[in-house]
Structure 1
Amino acid sequence: MTNAQLKEELIAYSKTIGIDKIGFASADPFLTLKERLRTQQQLGYQSGFEEEDIDLRTEPERLLPYAKTIISIALAYPAKLENPPKGVKGKRRGIFCRASWGEDYHRVLNDRLQKLETFIQKRVPNAKMASMVDTGALSDRAVAERAGIGWSGKNCAIITPEFGSYVYLGEMITTIALEPDIPIDDQCGSCNKCVDACPTDALIQGGQLDANKCIAFLTQTKEMIPERYRKKIGNRLYGCDTCQVVCPENKGKGEEYQPEFTPEPEKVKPELLPLLSISNREFKETYGNMAGSWRGKKPIQRNAIMALGHFREEGAVPQLQTMLMNDSRPVIRGTAAWSLGKIGTDDARETLQEVNESEEDPTVREEIQHALTMG
């Protein structure tokens, strides 16, 4: 079998196992990306979730000796929720971003990559391969761009002609030399809608992101959310879709997707109040198979507390009072204080004044005192 025949077989096989798009790129170093990453690092725009070693992120041979090709795959996910439950007073709801709908994409993409590895190994027994999804050192986006999966949009997402930016990405480095595909020309042109619409101005310019301002990043942190971002986060529990929703290339997209990503409306748009008292076990059983659960329940609970303050949900006051007075986690107590201040009932203010006398954590005390100044 020639390498050209192997490539054709791989393309055909990928369609039978639920890969929506496959592309092939050389394993040469990503020199332009290396410079961009250095700039990001110098400007302090990185989130801290990335691989710190820029050489590892941009030199495939460091990850797999004698690497020749990188195979990029894309799996489409949905953009619309059928019959979404509506939040009402007393039963307010939060929202998980689309990239967390259905089964955790890490598992699904790893399954597809493993099948590709097995397929290749049977045909080329001496081939070496290394697959990764999201948490690997390589930049999924840079690989997909080079492999012709799509172009890198101003919203810092890969945009495919077929599925817009509603795709998950994964890749496999291999020692087999396969003919690379041709990258797709940038189609964003003068459009700047994603940059203009970003709620926190995290998109500094087209293609450059300050991750520390990005709501998708902020909702995953475990610390207090800076005051200036709380209102902008609204009722988001995990992630943010604004830059995708406003993208003209996504209009009419998101209806074709892999079945594993079919969302359960009650899970992706859950009631907020039950999240305040959910146990670790209940959280894992309910949300453990979703990508949005990877940081545990604390960030989701904190975000739910903020969302209740955002809605000024008076029905949440008793639970928020309990959390402020009894929760062992300062971040949760501090966020509960802020939310009580936003709701602003007499009962909420009385609790804030009472706890202000006994709270020992300086950050929480500061939040309580700030909450008491809210009108």
Structure 2
Amino acid sequence: MNIHQLQQDIIEYSKTIGIDKIGFASPSPFMELKNRLLRQQELGYQSGFEEPDIEKRVRPDLLFDQPQSIIAIAVAYPSKMKIRVVSKKGERRGIFCRASWGKDYHHVLRERLKKLEDYIASRVPEAKFKSMVDTGELVDRAVAERAGIGWSGKNCSIITPEFGSYVYLGEMITNIPFVPDSPMEDQCGTCNKCIEACPTGALVQGGQLNSQKCIAFLTQTKGFLPDEFRDKIGNRIYGCDSCQTACPVNKGRDYHFHDEMEPDPETAKPLLKPILKISNREFKEKFGPVSGSWRGKKPIQRNAIIALAHYKDETAVPELIQVMKEDPRPVLRGTAAWSLGKIGGAKAKEALEQAAESEKDEEVLAEVAKGLSFFH
């Protein structure tokens, strides 16, 4: 078997199945990463969505019997919508981050990796694979960095010279000994624009993120959002792009290579008020196909309530009063109470005063009190 020829053929084939960049890496343990992950754990900077076993995150040989190499792939996604919808008075809109605009990338990249597996197996029948996208044990960015896909930016994203950081990543461990690519030199230099742009100071320093403060993480939590972050969220209902849009390498980058990644503007930038009373079935139909729906409708609804407060949308007061009075979920009742206080007006105040008398839940009552405090 001529490894060099096979590798070249794989690179050529990958272009025909919608893979925009491919690289090859050694499967040796990611020791430098291990130290960083241990430090993150000590500082309490993890999100809790990661694989809890750090050894599994840094040692491919714990996931695969005698790995010989890892193939990393990148697929570029759009940063601008072809059809624009505008948020206007009485019809305010929220926004999903760009990585959640098209069809759920986990499915898209898994399909691409499966085609790649099938192609390699047709050439090397004894080939074995383990592919993963985002939810696997390995750290996608560490693999991509080692495979020369891009450098690890100060914004904790992989930045490619071709597509900036607007890329999805996936990888495949295999028993074929491919020739590894060389990692790319860091090109961030003295630029700190992403760190300066982070609304909550979650980028502690270049390449170090406190997930607990990161809006992308916060929008996915299910409880009450800590007070200090509510005004920072703006109209984001899932994810955050501030550290990507601030990056000079991303300026003007907008790639529309893949139909399934094209955003439906009504889903990517949805009207906020209808979200407040969306049924489970409607939520599944509208948002089910995008990656931002994975935590269900509750976080999206809570974030929509906060976004209406951000806009001080008086037209939403009747809907927010209804949520505060009738929603069975304390987090939504309480957040609506806070939002009503932020928006203000006689109707909101009257409803909050009534809720202070009738509400039984302690946490919701605390939010009602916060809402009323805005009137003093």
CA distance in 2, matches of 1:356, 1:205: 43
CA distance in 1, matches of 2:126, 2:261: 34
1:369 aligns with 369
The question of 1:282 aligning with 2:282 is answered: yes
The question of 1:76 aligning with 2:76 is answered: yes
1:244 aligns with 244
User: Any conservation in 2 of the 1:156–1:207 contact (CA below 8 Å)?
Assistant: yes
Letter in 1 for 2:87: G
Letter in 1 for 2:325: M
Shift of 1:252: 1.7
Deviates more, 1:142-151 or 1:73-82: 73-82
Letter in 2 for 1:101: W
1:161 aligns with 161
Letter in 2 for 1:173: I
1:308 aligns with 308
User: Any conservation in 2 of the 1:333–1:364 contact (CA below 8 Å)?
Assistant: yes
The question of 1:61 aligning with 2:61 is answered: yes
Shift of 1:256: 4.2
TM-score (ref. length: structure 2): 0.99
Q: How does 1:198-347 map to 2 (within 5 A)?
A: 198-347=198-347
CA distance in 2, matches of 1:31, 1:360: 52
Letter in 2 for 1:351: A
User: Any conservation in 2 of the 1:338–1:368 contact (CA below 8 Å)?
Assistant: yes
CA distance in 2, matches of 1:246, 1:344: 33
What does the per-residue CA deviation read over 1:231-250, in whole Å, with 9 as the maximum and x for residues that have no partner? 11010010000000010010
Letter in 1 for 2:284: K
Instruction: List, as ranges, runs of 4+ consecutive aligned residues in structure 1 with deviation greater than 4 Å.
Output: none
CA distance in 2, matches of 1:260, 1:225: 32
In structure 2, stretches of 5+ residues that fail to align are none
Shift of 1:258: 2.1
CA distance in 2, matches of 1:81, 1:123: 40
CA distance in 2, matches of 1:91, 1:280: 22
Deviates more, 1:81-90 or 1:26-35: 81-90
Q: How does 1:26-175 map to 2 (within 5 A)?
A: 26-175=26-175
CA distance in 1, matches of 2:260, 2:27: 30
User: Any conservation in 2 of the 1:84–1:269 contact (CA below 8 Å)?
Assistant: no
Letter in 2 for 1:253: R
Shift of 1:358: 2.0
Tell me the secondary structure at the aligned position of residue 71 of structure 1.
strand
Letter in 1 for 2:311: F
In structure 1, stretches of 5+ residues that fail to align are none
Shift of 1:257: 3.3
CA distance in 2, matches of 1:82, 1:127: 42
Sequence identity, in percent?
63
Shift of 1:361: 1.4
Work out the number of aligned pairs and report it: 375
User: Any conservation in 1 of the 2:256–2:262 contact (CA below 8 Å)?
Assistant: no
CA distance in 1, matches of 2:15, 2:158: 20
Shift of 1:259: 2.0
CA distance in 1, matches of 2:361, 2:7: 60
Shift of 1:2: 1.4
CA distance in 1, matches of 2:318, 2:176: 62
CA distance in 1, matches of 2:82, 2:171: 31
Shift of 1:267: 1.2
Letter in 2 for 1:295: R
Shift of 1:20: 0.1
TM-score (ref. length: structure 1): 0.99
